[in-house]
Amino acid sequence: MSEPGAGSDLSAIKTTAVREGDHYIVNGTKTFITNGIHSDLIVIVCKTDPKANPPHKGSAS
């Protein structure tokens, strides 16, 4: 798992998922996904509470 500026430190990710009705709006960036075009499944890691303290408590996957 990686994200620009966070590397593989999942508690430092900036991608967010904000609940809007019955859905989540995901907003973030990804530099590359090696062989992503051949994927059948994609896992997204994001924060549902970006202000959580400690930071890893705001993450959901």
User: What pLDDT, in 10s, does the model give residues 2-61?
Assistant: 677 777 777 788 888 989 999 999 998 877 777 878 989 888 888 888 888 887 776 654
User: What string of H, E and C letters represents the secondary structure of the chain?
Assistant: CCECCCECCHHHCCCEEEEECCEEEEECCCCCCCCHHHCCCCCCCEECCCCCCCHHHHEEC
The whole-number pLDDT of residue 30 equals: 75
The whole-number pLDDT of residue 44 equals: 82
The whole-number pLDDT of residue 21 equals: 95
Does the bond joining 54 to the residue before it have cis omega, within 30 degrees of 0? yes
Model pTM score: 0.67
- The answer to whether 31 and 4 are in contact (CB under 8 A) is yes
The whole-number pLDDT of residue 54 equals: 82
